[in-house]
Each structure stands twice: as structure tokens, then as C-alpha cells.
A and B are shown apart, each in its own frame.
Chain A
Amino acid sequence: MTAPLLRIRDLAVSFATYGGVLQALDGVSFDVDKGRVVALVGESGCGKSATALSILRLLASPPARLVRGEIRFEGRDLLHLSEREMRGVRGARIGMVFQDPMTALNPVYTVGFQLIEAIRLHRKFTRKEAREQAIAGLAKVGFPEPAARIDSYPHELSGGMRQRVLIAIALACSPTLLIADEPTTALDATIQAQILELLQKLRVDLGMSLLLIAHDLGVVASIADEVVVLYAGVVMERGPTASLLSAPAHPYTRALLRSIPPSGPTAFRTRETKGRSLPTIEGTLPDLRSPPPGCRFQARCPDVVDRCTTDAVPLTSRSGGGAVRCFLAEVAEAAEPAATTDVA
């Protein structure tokens, strides 16, 4: 098997805060293969964005500090590149779409200017050539009348259009990996459907890999091949989307899935069935300045046993592909022989 496009191993990042050192990521490992869509899911504060920003080395240091780990992309360890080499990766090889299309664009420049800027940073094009490229790029992301509207300012565009511009900028230099941080969260339902369809199409057309950061498991289900579930800076479970969502092995994944209001034509509640309440996850994230020994989910876990509060839990491979970090799931899998730790 060929090496994955992006390979993250044992990534640990801490932040210095006034209250002490906060362990934001603690031993995160996963791969993104060529042409695949991998989704990072979890609640806010669990380390999704910290992972994405670490890949691009965009975390300000200090307060952020790389404790240990390796991020191998196209054969190079990104964590040991010089800032100058890194600039050749950012934008050129790895594109990034930020969460909020309302604030990610500069309001005082036209979208054309910002798109051309991105193109000319990495390629030796004349202004005219770059402009043609920019128009072609906008057309590719389904921006209507790109030649006429390339000189619009961000405030003249709707949220969906701005998100298309951001995707066009991220794709300007045909990156092999696109990182999208909550690309549809700020958008309306029908526009969200359009953007998801676009990402799906681009991935097929361009053979690009996608690292998607999302908290909406519905979005994840509709586009991702694999899912990585993060909790308090630790990978709790990962695996192929279909099996992970249909048969989650970790109590946290199960709790997350249960707390989503059911949908579908039979999900509505009549007056009679009201009063049945939605399952919730009680409690809050552990204090990452002094995480508890053992499992980080212990305080909120419905199935917690004594061992969970004392022993470090290894990430154990599952027979159906994927891996889970839970003693109870480990017992369930014990019949299967392959039980390697950490590196799948």
C-alpha cells in the first residue's frame, strides 16, 4: 500500500494560559489517503481546529507549543520545515477554507483581488493571466457570471456566494489536500446542500483529498469516507463512516449520536408523545490543564468502570476497520486477534 497523503502521528500540542499549561492535543494520530474525505468531529473545545491549524502551522507560538509528534505530508514532515518552505505548502499544496465566510474575506478588497493575490503568490502569472485563472476558478465553484461579478466586494455577495469564493481561493493553486473548517455551519439549509454537493463534485473531478471539520454528524454522514472522533484532545474512535455511525463502539460516539433529534417523516412528535426527553451528555469537558488519569471521558461516561479512572486507555484496532479507545469495547473485541495499539 502506498503511503497516505497526510499522516499524523502522536501529535501533542499545548497552550500556555494564565491558569497553567493546557494540553489541547494529546497523541492524535490518523491518516488521510489520496482522494478520500476524512471528517474530524467532536464538541467545541475538543481540538478539531487545533489539529487543522497545526497541520498548516498556523498556531501562534507562544502560546501554542508543539510537545511531540509528526505530520507527514507528501513525504515531508511539516513540523520541521522552515517558515519559508512552509509558505510553499500553505495555499499551494494544502488549501484551507475557514469557517465563517462573513469574516474570512477582507471587506476592503474585491473578491477578484483576493483571488488573484492567492494565485500570484504561488505562480508566476501576469495580472491578465491570473485574472483569467481567477474567472475560471470562480466558474468551477459554480459562481454565477464570474466575469461580470469578479469585481464585487464581499458585502455585495450572499453567504453562499462568499463561501464559494473562499473555496475558489483555497483551490486556486490546485492543492492536493483541502482542509475545510465547518464549511457549511454558517449557511442556510438549502445553501448547505449546494456547498456539500460542490465539495463532493470537486473531490471527484480534481482527485483531491478533503479533511473536513464538522460538528454536524448529518453533514459528515453525507460526505465523509472516514470519521475521526475527538474528545478533549484525544482520538476516541475512528473508522469508516458507515460502520462508525451505524455501530459506534465508543460510549462518547454513541452519546453524540443519540443527542441529535431524530429526523425523517416519522420523527416529529405529536402532543401525545411529548414528554419523552432527548438523551443528553451530562457534565462538561474535563479541565485540560490537569486532565484526569485514565480515560478523559470518564466523568460523563454512563458505562464507566474502576479501571477507566486509573489506567491509560490504548487505541485498539477493531475487526471491521477503524479503532476505538475504550476498555469496554476492547473486551467486546477480545475474541478478535488483531489488537495493536495506537498505529493502525
Chain B
Amino acid sequence: MPRVIVDVMLKPEILDPQGKAVRAALTRLGYTGVADVRQGKRFELTLAEDPTAEALDAIGQAAATLLANPVIEDVVSIRLEAGSAPVPHPGSTPVLDQAQ
């Protein structure tokens, strides 16, 4: 099934305490070459069918409305995975549905 990947990052000027903590842990582990870490979010939207241009536009709007808060975050990329057909993890989707 086609899949759209949306990446969201905190705006560069927004402090990222989580990224700072990750960087400190990397330094403790001996990875001293890392100057900075910023932590973001990746959303994978699996679609029922190949999206039209309008459907992709709608996803762009959804990303800017819900997936990211434009006050503190940027949607840095929205891309359709070419020929994406992820192998379904046994039981993962039905279990999630039941949990709702």
C-alpha cells in the first residue's frame, strides 16, 4: 500500500531539551564527535490507494494543522515512498484497532 512519510522538526530557534539530553548521553558513551542533537518526529501515513495530487495537498494541510504545531515546529518533508508496500507486521494493525 502506498505510504507517505512526514518529517517534523522543532524550529531551529526552539530549545530542544531532549536532543540535549541525547547528546550528553552520546558523549558519556564516548561518541565525542557529536556537536549537537535535534530530535524530531516521523509519521508514516499508509493510504488505501495511490494518492491524487489533491490527496497529497490534503496531507500537506493535515501535516501543518495537526502533525506539526507551526508555532514551534516545521514540516521539513512530505514524501510518497515509491512503490511502497510495507510487509504487514503479523497482527500489528488489528491489535491496535482492537485496543482503541
Q: Does B associate with A?
A: no
Which A residues form the contact surface with B (CB < 8 A)? none
Which B residues form the contact surface with A (CB < 8 A)? none
